[in-house]
Amino acid sequence: MNIEQRRTRIAKAFGIVLRELRMKANLSQESLANISLLHRTTIGLMERGLRSPSLDTVFRLSEALNISPDQFIIKVKKLFL
């Protein structure tokens, strides 16, 4: 797997986990965006695996979804591997 394929797989895994956690928290994309101080389209792009989050974004989303950043990443890692 080349670097671009790896990035794409990680972004898609992140998006799956993000959507799962958002839905479990019973939040719309708009609500999550407001709580995490991000734009709704950013949430949508990440959920579709079209945008990778910065470290700051991972922390914001984790806080908004009441999960530690390390647990968030562990969930992504399980899907990626």
Mean pLDDT throughout 22-50? 98
18 contact partners, CB below 8 Å, separation of at least 6: 43, 46, 47, 61
Q: Residue 81: what pLDDT?
A: 82
pLDDT per residue over 9-27, tens digit each? 999 999 999 999 999 999 9
Please give the full DSSP string across 6-29, using - where no structure is assigned: HHHHHHHHHHHHHHHHHHHTT--H
What number of other Cβ atoms are within 10 A of residue 11's Cβ? 20
Centroid of chain to Cα 55: 11
Q: Residue 1: what pLDDT?
A: 86
| CA-closest candidate to residue 62, choices 74, 77, 51, 45 | 74
Domains detected in the chain: 3-76 (1.10.260.40)
